[in-house]
Amino acid sequence: MTIKFPARRADGTLLLRLRFRSTEAVSRAAVERWLEEWSAANAVWEREWTGAEGAVVEAETLRWSGAYSSAPKLTDFEASSFAIELNATTRAENWKDWMARFVDALQRHFPSVAFAGADSHPRFGGT
């Protein structure tokens, strides 16, 4: 079976474009500021797995730089929609976990924003 998503570049890296829509106008400056703040605060993720009774059964340290080669980048901005690009490394094992964490945090910070989907290079023409 051929994997359709994500499409990897020839060098094995991934370029993901996350698409968002908003029911209210969102300023470019506000999104860019949030991206900077989120990136600084989330460079390291201490993830804990808990058992049935809530006790920690496993802990792991994940680093953004272990999955992605750069900070999230705002693209295709309009007041009611925008996209954010994520550049995953060839060794990215937790790219989906980070992507889900990122999308959840963005939607919590901007309640009018909804995740509209994701594409990967070359399907959206990225380089």
CA angle centred on 62, ends 57 and 65, rounded to 5°: 175
pLDDT for position 1: 47
pLDDT tens-place values along the chain, 127 residues long: 455 566 666 777 788 999 999 999 999 999 999 999 999 999 999 988 888 888 888 889 999 998 999 999 999 899 899 999 999 887 778 888 999 999 999 999 999 999 999 988 765 444 4
pLDDT for position 20: 97
Beta bridge partner(s), residue 119: 17
